[in-house]
Structure 1
Amino acid sequence: MYADYNESQATVRESIAKICSHFPESYWLGIDNAARWPDEFQQAIAKAGWLGIMMPTEYGGSELGLSEATIMMQTIAESGGGYTASSSVHMNIFGLSPVVKYGNEEQKKRFLVPLIDGKERACFAVTEPNTGLDTLKLQSLARRDGDDYVLKGSKIWTSTAQVAEKILILVRTTPLEEVKKPSEGLTLFYTDLDRSAVAVTEIKKMGRAAVDTNQLYFDNWRVPAADRIGDEGQGFKLIMHGMNAERVLIAGEAVGIGLAALRHASRYARERVVFGRPIGKNQGIAHPLAKAWCQLESTRLMIMQAAKMWDDGFSSGEYANAAKYLAGEHAFTACETAVCTLGGFGYAKEYHVERFLREVVIPRLAPVSREMCLNYIAEKVLEQPRSY
């Protein structure tokens, strides 16, 4: 528990930790080795009602803030589940914020209730193979055909598409060359992931084997107009609503995995005796661990400030970007330090820290690179000319 938590935040921390205690690190090691979706864990979170932590109460949610959600995700990662655990529920926590804010009443009832109950899983498709972080240059198209839209194109880095029943997808309804500004002409849909029209190909990757990441190809994919979120052509504005929140959540998860690695390393340093003394008695071991804690704790405090500001209606992104950048860097340092503290055992899977190190690369790359976070700070805070 942390001294800065209020009663609501402390309750979230305690409740989530209790659920996580039923899923020890041996469970997550087995899940990672088998590359198997952690269905038992996701269902336990859903059964306890936590998938709707930020959703309105009328649809079964708890209607708590980003602060509580960030604490939830940090606690999950910190329990030893790392990014495998947090990613299995991440999309359900933040992903449908555009539906909550911009969906009509019929859509909210149809989409939010089964998601909160854990009866449906969702994935998020924005990035495309040829555009990367340049979201405004998306090329996938949707054309209106009666009561449907017909979609054609491809997406990449879409996590959980192997198991998801639903997909939140951003495509162009007006070709790029026909709009006045690149941010125009993008439309958001939340719809069934129709596998007869969408080919889902898994991307084999370095870490988080249990939570799939994919490339999607689709052609002649008919999506009901009733599944369009908000107005046609306004999709970019809709997804921007959740971008800062996602960066704060990702940052909280990064701190969690860094703390999990630090816990292992600290225990090992106390117990491992070499040359007649615990290795933690050597400042060459103890000081990097202490420095890692200082970095993680200072980052955690900034994350909580960013979350509070988002909950209070602060819409600018400097704190979300700064928190995400710091979390990615300092969590990586903590995990690297943990592996080095354990020495050869740090390279062995049974000691868990190598799994943390593989997974902690994620917040340095996604959902936005550390360089783009710094670009934002340079331009918006320090008033430097835009570099891209």
Structure 2
Amino acid sequence: MMDFDLPPEIVSLQEMCRDFAAKEIAPHAARWSEDELFPSRLFRQLGELELMGMLVSEKYGGSDAGMVAYVAVMEELGAVDQSVAAAWNAHSTIASLPLAEFGTEQQKEDWLRPLATGEKLGAFGLTEPEAGSDAAGITTRAERSGDGWLINGTKMFISNAGTDMSLGVTILAVTGTTPDGGKRYGTFFIPDGAAGYTKGQRLKKLGWHALDTRELVFEDCWIPAEHLVGQEGNGLRQFLAVLDKGRISVAALSLSLAKAALRLAVEHARTRRQFGRPLTAFQAVSHKIADIATEYEAARGLVYRAAWLADQGRPHAKEAAMAKLYASELANRAASQSLQIHGGYGYIRESEISRFYADAKILEIGEGTNEVQRNVIARALTR
């Protein structure tokens, strides 16, 4: 018999996060966005609630709650503030999981534990000015130098690296060539304050205004040998191994935006009157709401199934790509239709839907563009 209900403990966790978001995030989200302010205090509160290490073992300060629980929490955080949820997502997945999966015991104690407890914030550096979807095309290099590594290169569009609680950044770099002329890759942790590691100014983005995003530059940045995470030569494979969970998390972030767009559309349609009637009385409006609600339920099924497969330890690369693809495109459709229902009121920056509308587009780009997701799905079906 199929059971689509969340376990009671996850329902309780979700309700707690819903209450927390309503009290601690919702009243401030508009100001954080307008002022482009990263709310460090809030993330320390998330740490106190044991939410900063949900995918990390309890041994290292996390709660090891699993992907289904993680998606349930994301639904609540992202439905109130996408910038906060995006920062939490980057920290929880691609910043923490490489250390959790491939780090040594010492690395986990030194770096993973402060991330999992919420004492510090994590970042991951893959994208470069000339490499994004083509992860193998990165040019940042790591060369052996004495008993360490010398890092040179530039990373672009990196989130969480420039806050007052940033621990450092884990990066992917080219370490050499294979016998057949291919590239070898390594994963390295660069701590804040390392000589030769500098950060550009915060980038001015279309959305996600409260999320700290910067260019990172490494000029003869020397780090000790023990800052290599996992095996030299396996860096790209290590990154790809944790990428599926990152895609599920972006799918969940997209789901949360669709949820917010639906709520705002319904609220406005009920209260706004035209021609002597509420907007809900007009079929053109009510059909938009019906479409958003139906697609939200379809996306929710894809996202939670991918998360459940991950928790079961079963293959989920195709399902993660499908969830990310569909949910992110739904988020954009839902935000657009909800804004249309709001009319002129939705187009002013003071409106809540305008913030979600600006935040939606990046969901089709980050964690692998949707063109890449279609490639992943097609390969899985035709190989």
Partner residue in 2 for 1:200: 199
Superposed CA RMSD in Å reads: 1.6
Moved more, 340-349 or 212-221: 212-221
Determine whether 1:277 maps to 2:277: yes
Query: What TM-score, normalized to structure 1?
Result: 0.93
Secondary structure in 2 matching 1:350: coil
Partner residue in 2 for 1:168: 170
Residue identity in the other structure for 2:172: L
How far the C-alpha of 1:238 sits from its partner, in A, is 1.1
How far the C-alpha of 1:25 sits from its partner, in A, is 3.1
* Distance in 1 of aligned mates of 2:174 and 2:355: 38
Residue identity in the other structure for 2:170: L
Query: What TM-score, normalized to structure 2?
Result: 0.94
Stretches of structure 1 lacking an aligned partner (at least 5 in a row): 384-388
For the 8 Å contact 1:19–1:44, the answer to whether it is kept is no
How far the C-alpha of 1:228 sits from its partner, in A, is 0.9
Partner residue in 2 for 1:37: 38
Partner residue in 2 for 1:108: 108
Residues 132-153 of structure 1: CA distance to partner in whole angstroms, max 9, x if unpaired?
Answer: 2111122111111122111001
Shift >6 Å, 4+ stretches? none
Moved more, 30-39 or 192-201: 192-201
Residues 264-314 of structure 1: CA distance to partner in whole angstroms, max 9, x if unpaired?
Answer: 110110111111111111110011111011101110111100011111112
Residues 86-127 of structure 1: CA distance to partner in whole angstroms, max 9, x if unpaired?
Answer: 022223311221211211111111112211222221111011
How far the C-alpha of 1:196 sits from its partner, in A, is 4.2
Partner residue in 2 for 1:128: 128
Moved more, 283-292 or 191-200: 191-200
Q: How does 1:33-112 map to 2 (within 5 A)?
A: 33-78=34-79, 80-81=80-81, 83-94=82-93, 95-112=95-112
Stretches of structure 2 lacking an aligned partner (at least 5 in a row): none
Determine whether 1:305 maps to 2:305: yes
How far the C-alpha of 1:235 sits from its partner, in A, is 0.7
How far the C-alpha of 1:66 sits from its partner, in A, is 1.0
How far the C-alpha of 1:42 sits from its partner, in A, is 1.1
Secondary structure in 2 matching 1:209: coil
Moved more, 128-137 or 252-261: 128-137
* Distance in 1 of aligned mates of 2:37 and 2:208: 10
Residue identity in the other structure for 1:53: M
For the 8 Å contact 1:70–1:249, the answer to whether it is kept is yes
Determine whether 1:364 maps to 2:358: no
For the 8 Å contact 1:97–1:241, the answer to whether it is kept is no
Q: How does 1:151-300 map to 2 (within 5 A)?
A: 151-163=151-163, 164-175=166-177, 178-180=178-180, 182=182, 184-194=183-193, 196-201=195-200, 202-300=202-300
Residues 20-76 of structure 1: CA distance to partner in whole angstroms, max 9, x if unpaired?
Answer: 122353410000000010123212111111111111111221111111111111210
Q: How does 1:364-383 map to 2 (within 5 A)?
A: 364-383=364-383
